[in-house]
Amino acid sequence: MNENLEEQQKGKYILLRDGEDDTELGLFYKPLPCFGCGIGWFSFLVGFVFPFAWYFATFLYFTNYYRRDPRERSGLAASAIAALIFTVALVITVLVLVFSGR
């Protein structure tokens, strides 16, 4: 203990854990699913071709799927916003077509 205190006073670094702990990987060392970009961003990109993917990601966002991995939160939120914009545009388009006399 005295050696560590002396080293600390000299400005040297102190090893806080053993080398055995390095074999244990943390949560964020794992790659995200769907080609490494995460379910949320993958759904966001696929949603431009299949808008149902935005609704799927919105469901995951509202069921707190991002608590498993916080890195998913931004992509799921982007998909939820895209689903909202798509829904509003779809409703406006349908209303214009219905009330335009066609």
pLDDT tens per residue, range 36-50: 788 889 999 999 999
pLDDT at 94: 94
Residue 18, pLDDT score: 59
What average pLDDT does range 84-97 have in this prediction?
95
Q: Average pLDDT for residues 11-23, to the nearest whole number?
A: 58
What does the block give as tokens for 36? 């490494």
65 pLDDT more than 90 = no
pLDDT value at 32 more than 60: yes
Q: What is the pLDDT of residue 61?
A: 92
